[in-house]
Structure 1
Amino acid sequence: MTDTTWPSPPIADRAAWQAEIDELRAREKASTRERDAIAAARRRLPMVEVDAATPLEGPNGTTPLIDAFEGRRQLLAYYFMWHPGRPASEQCGGCTWCSSQVRELGYLHSRDITFAVFCKGPYDESVRYRDFLGLETPWYGVPPASQQSLLVERDTSMMYLICYLRDGDRVFETYWTTRRGVETLDNSYALMDLTPYGRQEPWEDALPGSPQREWHSAGGNVDGRPIPHWPRLAAGVSDRLSG
């Protein structure tokens, strides 16, 4: 997509350009050090025990939470919002965006971490959505009673990213985040943030006249569907979720 009416940053000679990059780099480094300090504090948070036997729905039927670790000690679970009985085109664009970003799991596995999607809907229906998206991420359905147990005192309708630690046959929750906190799953937004036009969303402090639009839900929909749908449909992949 090109449009010559879009604004451009001011033009400078290389020395002046580099001087501004150097000034920005100092801020970037300070931000990196602060993120490191926050991560260190996060690692030192206390933890709370959860029922290791909490039932999930998986490819082998009812599965206890502890089995979702796949034998590893740490588990990162993304809680996917779901609209039971509705077609693929009406499923959450934000959760589609988040879950479709995490594909290569080998790096996590090398650090004794399992990543899985915990979908807040029936497994048999929702796993077809995973397959439609071309994901190979471990996928579980979380029954309503289990949602209440695992998301105690939290809005069960929201997306969440939750970290668990296994100690023998016991499971502990160590951290959780929601809303923009789940952007840690993303690489597309992080890359967009490096470009002159950013995410092209109305809330951004952007160059005057920059392209900005109201995307439907976090992550963005185009022509009534979450963005990752279109290449899958073009490849002839069925988005049928029932039967």
Structure 2
Amino acid sequence: MKMKHILNYFSSVCFLVAFTLVQAQEKSTVKTNFETKTLEQTEDSIPVKKDRYGLRLGIDLFKFSRGFYDKNYKGIELTGDFRWNKKYFLAAELGNENKTTEDDRLTSTSKGSYLKVGFDYNLYENWLDMENIISIGLRYGFSTFSQELNGYKIYNPHPYWGELPLIPANQEFNGLSASWIEVVTGMKAKMFNNVFVGFSVQLKTLVTNKKPDGFDNLYIPGFNRTYNGNFGIGFNYTVSYFLPLYKKKVISK
């Protein structure tokens, strides 16, 4: 009889232990599922941004349109940049100019091509899918060109009979070249899908300047006027198109 009570007690304990283990397993499963779902929701709630990387090609509208209202100028400049990483862009400009300079004492024509290469650093922190740029950069420019002295006036310290007429010269100097460094600051704003509009201002200083004998380079293609010694100023207004090549994920903190 006593043995029967012991068996009944042991059976009850085993049942209670088994029931407790089943309940604990169910709670653990529910907890694990809840934690997994919560983790997935947390990961899904983190905003994921994809930065686009590619090549942007454009044209300087300022130089292109100037030839329509300035009879002494013809020129074109093509621009391009490639996004190297989050902040840096490799950049270049390629152009050709034909500029006639009319001074008080002489007129001359400069014509040639130039190339500028360097980089831009984007100072602007974009939100989500914005791709605007406010940048500062550096360029090294090189130009090959020719100068033509069209005519000149002989200085007359006593113009009693008036100014002397312009004397035709028609003297051309070929094989000229110049190089310079320029600091560039500007911006580009995304107007439509992959279409950007922007402008930049350049401060330049000459590094080399091969001058013709008995004459000077009054205008250097790509550098502009040299009236202020070795320093120059430039400006462009561009419209460009972005060609996306690949994307990189950026998880916002």
- TM-score > 0.5, shorter chain as reference: no
- Give TM class, smaller chain: under 0.3
- Give the number of the structure whose residues are more often strand, by fraction: 2
Structure 1 length-normalised TM: 0.20
- Give the number of the structure whose residues are more often helix, by fraction: 1
Instruction: Please say which structure displays the higher CA radius of gyration.
Output: 2
Query: Which structure ranks higher in relative contact order (CA pairs < 8 Å, sequence separation ≥ 6)?
Result: 1
